[in-house]
């Protein structure tokens, strides 16, 4: 049996259990007592403090500094590139069995200390307990899954053998051979994760690159570099050799291009916005002086995801799924369902149910486990509020539309009705708690409108008619399609995740072929007999 089939998802913690509640509260208090510390770069195991620092803030409490993180410039970036290039010479020769050991150990320790990682995310990203715990669970899953996948990749299926039984009178026999197809590492990878899954995506993109034998420069998001540092510390704790993982926080606008352009960079594993992803894709395509390869780019980008509802659907369930897709983690998931396209005969009924459901959401700090928390920062706050103003002109405001407490970056869950498919709020990724409801003539028109986007990440279709479900499965153009469910919440291994078109380069994180992106196949043929 393949190793991958022994994988099981990490269960989510039930915080209604008093023991779990007490434990997370204790960890939150502990983390709060550790806020405001300094965090250096880590290059070749060496701690480097820079003069300039990034102030990482709690988005739910703007005056609370989570940590001061050193910000690398191009000098430090070059140093990290040199270290990663040099370390690649030894790390790429370490057997897969030894490489996977570091992932299994890291996941074991993270599982033991999961509330600690969860608590750091609550402070640094504004997630509530459930969202942060799911993030930690996903990080554990990625490490467990990719370690197993690497064991299988190191032991690939046998190739076709040369037929030894040809009639030598009629045909020329070929010599016997030993043939092996091996997946070898690429080189130095620049890993650039976003802030919205500050542990899961960071851990998944780092460990998939490392376990396949590459060395990594990790440039975390400016907004969540402290949790990035915590992960790097964990990898040091499990004994990962120095120089394999280099921690290079800094501003994307200052060191991003430098890292992407460098002839020493072999691949870029990016997750973030469409604008940054397409910039990286374009720059990486240019062969620089001294560069000896074509760079690989794996880019997971934005979405304009949506839920489609026909008149036969369970409308109560559909409304609940629309609300959790739109407002889970304040709509700041790449999979967030910011559009609901509803067949007109049930539009009014569904709209009323959606508004009622969303009214139940209470807003407040992640630390106190409110359903709705803040958006990530001032920039995001301004952008989302800007879209709300656009929405007020384009459509009909049904709920919210205002900022919440200015202690943090709070925005009310906001719903617009009668959004049409040419509206900006229908077409552009908002990445905040804003949902648009759109009427469709019938289910076919609803699917057509759903597809009227340049993105293609997630979607959901609600109906009870089997033929329509089959049609939706065939025709809705997205990487992750859910039937009679919400359009968020992918599980590693169960729902390999990634989008098409302007949502990304078609890879599937947490899927059976993900590691192949970070390897190159090498065919090894050894002649065994003396036939010529």
Footprint of ligand NAD (CB under 6 A): 192, 194-197, 201, 219, 221-222, 252-253, 256-257, 260, 271-273, 276, 279-280, 300-303, 334, 429, 431, 457, 499, 503-504
Nearest to 61 by CA among 371, 368, 412: 368
CB-CB contact of 312 with 463 (8 Å): yes
Q: For 9-48, give one letter per residue: b (16+ CB within 10 A) or e.
A: bbeebebeeeeeeebbbebbeebbeebeeebbbbbbeeeb
Question: Cα–Cα distance between 372 and 413 in angstroms, integer?
Answer: 8
CB nearer to ligand NAD: give 193 or 364.
193
208 phi and psi angles, rounded to 5 deg: -65, -35
End-to-end CA distance of the chain: 38
CB nearer to ligand NAD: give 126 or 417.
126
CB nearer to ligand NAD: give 401 or 504.
504
CB nearer to ligand NAD: give 415 or 457.
457
Provide, rounded to whole angstroms, the least separation between the CB of residue 337 and ligand NAD: 12
**E strand intervals along 310-422:** 337-343, 396-399, 414-417
CB nearer to ligand NAD: give 128 or 503.
503
Is 487 annotated as catalytic?
A: no
Question: Cα–Cα distance between 242 and 407 in angstroms, integer?
Answer: 41
Provide, rounded to whole angstroms, the least separation between the CB of residue 503 and ligand NAD: 6
Provide, rounded to whole angstroms, the least separation between the CB of residue 46 and ligand NAD: 22
Active-site entry in 76, 116, 222, 300: 300
Q: How far is CA 20 from CA 12, 24, 328, 489, in A?
A: 11, 6, 22, 22
Q: How far is CA 530 from CA 162, 169, 172, in A?
A: 14, 18, 14
Consecutive H or E run containing 218: strand 215-218
Provide, rounded to whole angstroms, the least separation between the CB of residue 138 and ligand NAD: 11
Q: How far is CA 367 from CA 21, 24, 55, in A?
A: 12, 10, 20
Label the pairing between strands 265-271 and 188-192: parallel
CB nearer to ligand NAD: give 260 or 354.
260
| Rg over CA atoms, the chain | 25
Active-site entry in 23, 334, 412, 478: 334
Label the pairing between strands 455-456 and 458-462: unpaired
Provide, rounded to whole angstroms, the least separation between the CB of residue 429 and ligand NAD: 6
CB-CB contact of 360 with 320 (8 Å): no
Provide, rounded to whole angstroms, the least separation between the CB of residue 493 and ligand NAD: 16
CB nearer to ligand NAD: give 273 or 452.
273
Q: In the 8-state DSSP scheme, what is residue 509?
A: B
Is 138 annotated as catalytic?
A: no
Provide, rounded to whole angstroms, the least separation between the CB of residue 21 and ligand NAD: 29
Q: Which positions are catalytic?
A: 300, 334
């Amino acid at each position: 049996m393949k190793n991958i089939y022994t994988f099981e998802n990490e269960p989510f913690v039930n915080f209604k259990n008093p023991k779990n509640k007490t434990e997370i509260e204790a960890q939150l208090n502990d983390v709060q007592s550790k806020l405001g510390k300094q965090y250096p770069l880590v290059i070749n195991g060496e701690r480097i403090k820079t003069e300039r620092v990034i102030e990482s803030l709690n988005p739910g409490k703007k005056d609370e500094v989570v940590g001061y993180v050193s910000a690398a410039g191009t000098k430090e970036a070059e140093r990290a590139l040199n270290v990663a290039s040099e370390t690649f010479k030894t790390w790429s020769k370490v057997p897969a069995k030894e490489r996977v050991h570091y992932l299994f150990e890291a996941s074991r320790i993270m599982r033991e200390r999961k509330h600690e990682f969860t608590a750091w995310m609550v402070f640094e990203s504004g997630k509530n307990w459930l969202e942060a715990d799911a993030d930690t669970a996903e990080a554990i899953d990625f490490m467990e899954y990719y370690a197993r996948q690497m064991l299988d990749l190191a032991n690939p299926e046998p190739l076709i053998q040369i037929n030894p039984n040809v009639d030598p009178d009629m045909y020329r026999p070929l010599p016997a051979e030993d043939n092996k197809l091996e997946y070898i590492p690429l080189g130095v990878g620049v890993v650039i994760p976003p802030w919205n899954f500050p542990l899961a995506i960071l851990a998944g993109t780092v460990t998939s690159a490392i376990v396949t034998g590459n060395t990594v420069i990790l440039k975390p998001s400016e907004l969540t570099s402290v949790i990035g540092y915590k992960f790097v510390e964990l990898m040091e704790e499990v004994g990962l050799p120095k120089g394999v993982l280099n921690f290079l926080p800094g501003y994307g606008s200052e060191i991003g291009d430098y890292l992407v352009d460098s002839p020493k960079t072999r691949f870029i594993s990016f997750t973030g916005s469409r604008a940054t992803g397409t910039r990286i894709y374009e720059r990486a395509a240019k062969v620089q002086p001294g560069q000896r390869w074509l760079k690989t780019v794996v880019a997971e980008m934005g979405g304009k995801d949506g839920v489609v509802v026909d008149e036969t659907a369970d409308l109560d369930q559909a409304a609940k799924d629309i609300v959790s897709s739109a407002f889970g983690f304040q709509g700041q998931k790449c999979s967030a369902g910011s559009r609901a396209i509803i067949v007109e005969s049930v539009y009014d009924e569904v709209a009323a149910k959606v508004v009622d459901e969303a009214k139940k959401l209470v807003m407040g700090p992640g630390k106190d486990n409110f359903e709705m928390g803040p958006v990530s920062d001032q920039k995001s706050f301004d952008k989302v509020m800007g879209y709300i103003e656009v929405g007020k002109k384009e459509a009909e405001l049904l709920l919210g539309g205002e900022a919440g407490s200015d202690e943090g970056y709070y925005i009310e869950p906001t719903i617009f009705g009668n959004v049409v498919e040419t509206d900006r709020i229908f077409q552009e990724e908002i990445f905040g708690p804003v949902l648009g409801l759109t009427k469709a003539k019938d289910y076919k028109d609803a699917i057509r409108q759903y597809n009227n986007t340049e993105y293609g990440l997630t979607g959901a279709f609600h109906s009870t008619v089997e033929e329509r479900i089959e049609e939706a499965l065939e025709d809705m153009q997205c990487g992750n399609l859910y039937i009679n469910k919400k359009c968020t919440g992918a599980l590693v291994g169960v729902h390999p995740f990634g989008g098409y078109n302007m949502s990304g380069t078609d890879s599937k994180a947490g899927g059976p072929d993900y590691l192949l992106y970070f390897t190159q196949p090498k065919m090894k043929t050894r002649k065994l007999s003396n036939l010529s």
